[in-house]
Amino acid sequence: MKKIVVIGGGNMGFTYAEGIYNAKIANIEIIDKSDDRVAEINGMNKMKAATSYDALKDADIIFLAVKPQIAPLVFADIKSIVNKNQLFVSVMAGMTIETIQQGLGIDKVIRCMPNLPASIQLGMTTYVGSKEVAKENLDLVGTILKSTGKAFEVETEDMIDNTTGISGSGSAYIFYFMNAMAEAAEDFGFSREEAKTLTAQTFEGAVELYKQNDISLEEWMNRVASKGGTTRAALNNFDDNNVHNLIKEGTIACVNRAKELAADK
Ligand SMILES: NC(=O)C1=CN([C@@H]2O[C@H](COP(=O)(O)OP(=O)(O)OC[C@H]3O[C@@H](n4cnc5c(N)ncnc54)[C@H](OP(=O)(O)O)[C@@H]3O)[C@@H](O)[C@H]2O)C=CC1
Ligand SMILES: O=C(O)[C@@H]1CCC=N1
């Protein structure tokens, strides 16, 4: 089995590591600079974690999962340890393949954009490789990424930034909508537990209907909204307040922020 080392055992790095560990398709170790975090991960008695970069020496694949803003510091720390035979997979929003290649003095980079449900095999990842990545390695990483949910290759790095605007950050948009619905449920007198059930089951049911049928979202909305009925009152209210366009504008703000991060802002 290949040895994968993940640098950055935080939200996304740990999530990916856990997803890959659970799929049992590679040996996986985590490097994090925080003693407490390393102790916490080792305490789970699953994956090995360390603060030192020693594990990088014989790694086949190295996942870069620190914040883009601190990547230059990590590059400076590990440049003399890593080598050109190793394959690098970056999950960092906005950080370009070229910046990673130059920062580490290496060639083979796959840039991907995952999301947090990867920890429960329901992740969504897109990826693109540098021209130096052989098809065999791209396929290998594709298989690893698919072990955490769905994954597909895209043609350009721009599409990685665009993925950030939809699925990469998108779980948070869904939580945002759910938060408002759950809060409304509590305002209507339901308990917190009941509000959670009402909200989660409504999302799950709608998502499954959408996935299992070839029917447009607009058509689904129309099937719920009886003429002159309750749903139309809610949807009209959303439309009057421009909610549809505001959500789209949010996705654009997200993609723009990814591009700003690429420009080191
Ligand atoms: N969160 C998400 O849903 C997604 C995140 N991403 C990308 O994943 C990356 C990580 O984000 P996220 O997981 O949210 O951030 P976190 O802050 O949760 O995780 C980053 C981890 O890296 C650690 N760290 C900092 N410096 C070093 C170092 N020199 N060596 C090793 N570890 C270090 C941090 O420790 P400490 O906290 O002590 O600084 C922290 O534990 C980002 O680039 C982001 O763009 C991509 C898709 C989704
Ligand atoms: O918010 C962020 O910057 C990261 C990238 C995608 C999701 N979280």
Q: How far does CA 141 lie from the centroid of its chain? A: 15
pLDDT digits (tens, 9 = 90+) for 46-82: 999 999 999 999 999 999 999 999 999 999 999 999 9
Phi-psi region of 105 (alpha: psi -120 to 50; beta: other; left: phi over 0): left
The count of C-alpha atoms lying within 13 angstroms of the C-alpha of 260, restricted to the half-sphere facing its C-beta, is 7
Note whether 62 and 56 are within 8 A (CB).
Answer: yes
SS3 40: helix
CA–centroid distance, residue 69 to ligand 1 (Å)? 10
Q: Which two tokens stand for residue 48?
A: 């090995």
CA–centroid distance, residue 13 to ligand 2 (Å)? 12
* N- to C-terminal Cα separation, the chain: 39
pLDDT digits (tens, 9 = 90+) for 77-118: 999 999 999 999 999 999 999 999 999 999 999 999 999 999
Ligand 1 proximity of 123 Cβ (cutoff 6 Å): no
Percent of the chain with pLDDT over 70: 100
Residue that is written with structure tokens 């948009």 in the block? 173
| For ligand 1, mutation pick of 67, 119, 173, 257 (most atoms within 8 Å of CB) | 67
Note whether 156 and 128 are within 8 A (CB).
Answer: yes
Q: Assign domain 170-262 to its CATH architecture.
A: Orthogonal Bundle (1.10)
Q: Could you state, in order of their start, the residue ranges of all structural domains in the chain?
A: 3-154, 170-262
Residue that is written with structure tokens 């080598």 in the block? 83
Ligand 1 proximity of 142 Cβ (cutoff 6 Å): no
Residue 263's pLDDT band (boundaries 50, 70, 90)? confident
Nearest to 148 by CA among 167, 165, 133: 167
pLDDT beyond 80 at 207: yes
ipTM above 0.90, yes or no: yes
User: Which amino acid residue places its CA nearest to atom 2 of ligand 1?
Assistant: 12
Residue 231 — φ and ψ, nearest 5°? -60, -45
Tell the CATH topology of 3-154.
Rossmann fold (3.40.50)
pLDDT beyond 70 at 265: no
3-state helix, strand, coil in the chain (%, to 5): 55, 15, 30
Ligand 1 proximity of 51 Cβ (cutoff 6 Å): no
